[in-house]
């Protein structure tokens, strides 16, 4: 979700390199990109899985089911 939000904040800046959006949009964009990257770090602690761990497990299960056929 943060990746989509970061992309939505980035799109008004396309084509306006010298007149980019306000500083607030830049900070929101960078914060959302940071949260998106950090959420993709896989780990497991006390039986709870991070978003990155769930994402990797989902990709692995999808790839394994497609390779069986």
10 neighbors 29 (Cβ within 8 angstroms): yes
Q: How far is residue 27's CA from residue 50's CA, in Å, rounded to a whole number?
A: 25
Q: Please give the tally of structural domains in the chain.
A: 1
Per-residue pLDDT of the chain (69 residues; tens, 9 = 90+): 667 777 776 666 555 555 555 677 777 778 888 888 888 889 999 999 998 899 899 999 988 887 766
User: Going along 6-64, which residue ranges are E strands?
Assistant: 44-45, 48-49
E strand map for the chain: 44-45, 48-49
User: Would the pTM count as exceeding 0.95?
Assistant: no
Q: Which domain holds residue 31?
A: 2-68
């Amino acid at each position: 979700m943060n990746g989509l939000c970061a992309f939505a904040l980035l799109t008004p800046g396309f084509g306006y390199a010298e007149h980019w959006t306000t500083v607030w949009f830049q900070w929101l964009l960078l914060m959302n990109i940071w949260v998106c990257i950090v959420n993709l770090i896989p780990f497991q602690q006390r039986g709870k899985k991070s978003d990155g761990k769930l994402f990797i497990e989902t990709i692995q299960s999808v790839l394994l089911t497609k390779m069986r056929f």
